């Protein structure tokens, strides 16, 4: 997760402001899109590596509880949380 945060931070620094006074040339837009594509490929590679590596029970539980936190309804969050506890058994 910390790598993703670092990658996103670096991407935000590298991305030029879209509210620039002068319009971008075609070459500048193409260069921006190529750079954005490189960053997205790197991000996808990182996410794929995280998904493929084996997780401990504690890591799986932590990820499950992170998902439960995102639930809007209390009953849904409680249900997801109770299913998360099954991962520790």
pLDDT at 49: 85
Q: Up-side HSE of residue 58: CA atoms within 13 Å toward CB?
A: 0
Give the per-residue pLDDT at 41: 94
Residue length of the chain:
89
Structure tokens at 59: 């890591």
Instruction: Looking at mean pLDDT, say which of 5-9, 49-53, 75-79, 80-84 comes out highest.
Output: 49-53
User: Strand runs (DSSP E) across 1-89, as ranges?
Assistant: none
Residue indicated by tokens 């040339």: 25
Which has more confidence, 12 or 66?
Answer: 66
CB 55 within 8 A of CB 63: yes
Nearest Cα neighbor of 71 from 86, 59, 60, 84 is 84
Statement: the pTM of the whole predicted model exceeds 0.75: no
């Amino acid at each position: 997760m910390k790598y993703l945060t670092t990658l996103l931070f670096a991407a935000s620094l590298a991305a030029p402001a879209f509210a620039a006074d002068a319009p971008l040339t075609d070459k500048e837009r193409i260069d921006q899109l190529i750079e954005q594509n490189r960053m997205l490929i790197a991000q996808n590679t990182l996410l794929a590596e995280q998904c493929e590596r084996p997780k401990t029970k504690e890591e799986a539980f932590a990820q499950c509880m992170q998902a439960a936190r995102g639930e809007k309804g209390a009953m849904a969050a409680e249900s997801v949380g109770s299913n998360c506890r099954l991962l520790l058994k």
